[in-house]
Amino acid sequence: MKSIIKWATLGGVLILIELHCSSIPMVITQSQLFNGKAPESLSAEGKVIESGMVAELAQSNIALNDETASEWIKKDKRRMLHVVYRVGNLDKTIKFYRECLGMKLLRQRDIPEEGYSNAFLGYGPEESNFSVELTYNYGVDKYDIGTGFGHFGIAVDDVAKMVDLVKAKGGKIVQEPGPAKDGGPIVSLVEDPDGYNFELLERGPTLEPFRQVMLRVGDLDQSINFYKKAFGMELLRKRDNPDNKNTIAIMGYGPEDKNTVLELTYMYGVKSYDKGNGYAQIAVGTDDVYKTAEAIKLYGGEIVLEPGPLPGINTKIMACIDPDGWKTVFVDNADFMKELE
């Protein structure tokens, strides 16, 4: 059974319709598709898919081979834009991030007709810095974070001082400040109001304090190869930690002291993880979502949303999942800048 996604108008509202050859059409609004509230359906093989994802939304006539894809990826201007996840109390989480973690509220919007609100926070303007996109779905006050998501990492001037502030505000300390096991700088681990962990690393002033997003994977070498070839990321470093029974790989689009990076962690003997329903995706900028989609297909990636413009704002995007099912959305760079304006 094949799923086909088409834009349509219903009562003056632009919507997505998922058509199954043997089922009743499923209507999906824009907010359901992108804030994680879309209902689920089963593919012919019995695999759960998010409605609107396996799509024929837009077709590209671009054909890439290994050589042309590799050249395109090297020339493409990519950077990690933001990470999206769901929270149970938007105002409470914003307050914690501003007062305890030192973030700035960059923009916020409420979409009552679609039942959700979101807010972007970070340490600098979205034009140049990484940010977090918090999504609150009306009436949902708790999410399951699962075992696959690890933590977010931020660099701070004084870890102990920030930990004291978190304590004073009633926050939870998962790990008290202390030297890293490898003899590195002072680190600590704190928990936000929704249970997401933030690793605090003591480091001098930096243009990008948001250091990393850590996700767990089942086959580290496979993931490294995928992110290098399909996403064009560099393997910045790799380290085995026998005492902790894990191996980590740091992937990114530039030096980790100046850019937000992705930390992939393999726990010895663990091949799969529960992803829960809290963490959603990372957004990455690209000069051409159509070429990016073709390159990802070439290197074995699964496209869950074919490239095309979003209704209303016309920002072109595409979405894919990595070998472990972690989702990434690629956003057209020029359209993203216009959206910020």
Q: Which residues are catalytic?
A: 199
Question: Using CA atoms in the order 307, 52, 147, 214, what is the torsion angle rounded to 10 degrees?
Answer: 20
Instruction: Label residue 68 exposed, middle or buried (CB < 10 Å: 0-12, 13-18, 19+).
Output: middle
How wide is the angle at C-alpha 209 spanned by C-alphas 326 and 102, nearest 5°? 105
* CB-CB contact of 220 with 237 (8 Å): no
Length in residues, the chain: 341
Question: In whole angstroms, what is the distance from residue 8 CA to residue 14 CA?
Answer: 6
Question: In whole angstroms, what is the distance from residue 323 CA to residue 341 CA?
Answer: 35
User: Within 10 Å of residue 13's Cβ, how many Cβ atoms?
Assistant: 13
Strand bridging mode 246-252 / 234-241: antiparallel
Question: In whole angstroms, what is the distance from residue 87 CA to residue 9 CA?
Answer: 31
Strand bridging mode 172-179 / 186-191: antiparallel
Question: In whole angstroms, what is the distance from residue 319 CA to residue 313 CA?
Answer: 17
Question: In whole angstroms, what is the distance from residue 168 CA to residue 140 CA?
Answer: 27
Name the β-bridge partners of 316: 309
